[in-house]
Amino acid sequence: MLNSESLNNVLENKEISRQSILEIYHNAIKDPTELFSTAQILREKYKGNSVTFSKKAFLNIINLCKDSCSYCTYKAEPGEEKLSLMSNQQTTELLELAKKYKCVEALFVTGEQPEQRYQEARDWLKENGFSSTSEYLIHASEIALEKGLFPHTNAGNLNYDEMRELKKTNVSMGLMLENISKRLTEKGMPHYLATSKRPKARLEILENSGKLRIPMTTGILIGIGETIEEIIDSLLAIKELHQKYGNIQEVILQNFQPKQDTRMKDEPSADEKYFKTIVAISRIMMPEMNIQIPPNLSPKSYQSFLSVGINDWGGISPLTPDFVNPEFSWPEISKVDENSKSAGFKLKCRFPIYPEFFSFISKELQDKMKEIQNEEGLVKEEYWR
């Protein structure tokens, strides 16, 4: 029996109020022991002693973007050295290489609707025979499947029809909610020059993913100037969407790290104790959810997060860098395996879709996965190792 009545209620599968969550948080700031142990109990109950990851290739299709976030270093401008405009041939060659490396996931990432702002993006599309970025992504996803990889597209605010088309080839898709706060979109705040990050716009896309029954990865950014109330309201919004549609397959908790060529370069990175508290809060709010942190953004301590509620490392690539966080290299999979084992967990490789969401995708996609799938619905160990 814990001292906290609210945490005891969580362990008894009772719903807890927003106010109770806030109280748990404020108590944890003084002493996180009970919160952390509750999160650990729930993770063990629903996820056992394994931790998963997706072996991926990151295809940086086009990084022109109509938005400008204060912390983002992914976006490029025309003429910059980091500009990426992948041709059909480059995409195909990288997918072939990814297959040789026994990657499972083809992660397709683009800037936000680049052709709306840049002539260069329109010219690039025309050269490759496409009229829109989404059309290119549909084509690239088809090639990935042909090569034996499984597409996961993260291309910002795609519309309903675009998502419906991508569902035919993508086993899952992604869109970070980041935060539900309108305050963070005001002048001087991180999302002021990013219209696509308006909470209403993001929630509409996530709502559409539910209507379309697309297994969806979403999540929040931690340490960008938010309040605890804004974090909890963002997590509640994700929870409500999942309760309504049942399609949120995973919640990413991403800690802010300052980048040199951004407006927020002098802001401190997310405090680790605060970050761990949010991770544990997420677990008690959504006990059965798949919750991940990116290990490359906590390179010295990621394995310690296994004791506060996470059960997944997200995508790790043996081949391509993290183009969103290029200064943080992926850890070697063998090292993640070793560190997970030392913390008492068995590392397992999953598809970009979790087994419990297989019924959301077509029989054709399910059949393609069976070639490298084990009895748990994960990737055969002899394939990925």
Neighbours of 343 (CB within 10 A): 15
Dist. CA 296–CA 326, nearest whole Å: 10
Q: Quick: pLDDT tens for 209-232.
A: 999 999 999 999 999 899 999 999
pLDDT, position 67: 78
pLDDT band at 71 (very low <50, low <70, confident <90, very high): confident
Mean pLDDT, rounded, of the chain: 94
Q: Quick: pLDDT tens for 90-111.
A: 999 999 999 999 999 999 999 8
Which one-letter DSSP state was computed for residue 154? E
> Given a cut of 80, is residue 328 above it in pLDDT?
yes
CA dihedral of residues 153, 317, 98, 369 (deg, nearest 10):
-60
> Given a cut of 90, is residue 196 above it in pLDDT?
no
Q: Report the pLDDT averaged over residues 258-285.
A: 87
57 touches 98 (CB < 8 A): yes
Domain 15-384 is in which class?
alpha beta
Q: What string of DSSP letters covers 296-364?
A: GGSTTTGGGGGGGT--EEEEE-SSS--SSSTTSPPPPHHHHHHHHHHTT-EEEE--SS-GGGGGGS-HH
pLDDT, position 18: 97
Dist. CA 277–CA 31, nearest whole Å: 10
Strands 150-154 and 105-110 turn out to be parallel
pLDDT band at 143 (very low <50, low <70, confident <90, very high): very high
pLDDT, position 112: 87
Dist. CA 221–CA 170, nearest whole Å: 24
> Given a cut of 90, is residue 174 above it in pLDDT?
yes
Dist. CA 228–CA 20, nearest whole Å: 13
Q: Report the pLDDT averaged over residues 291-300.
A: 96
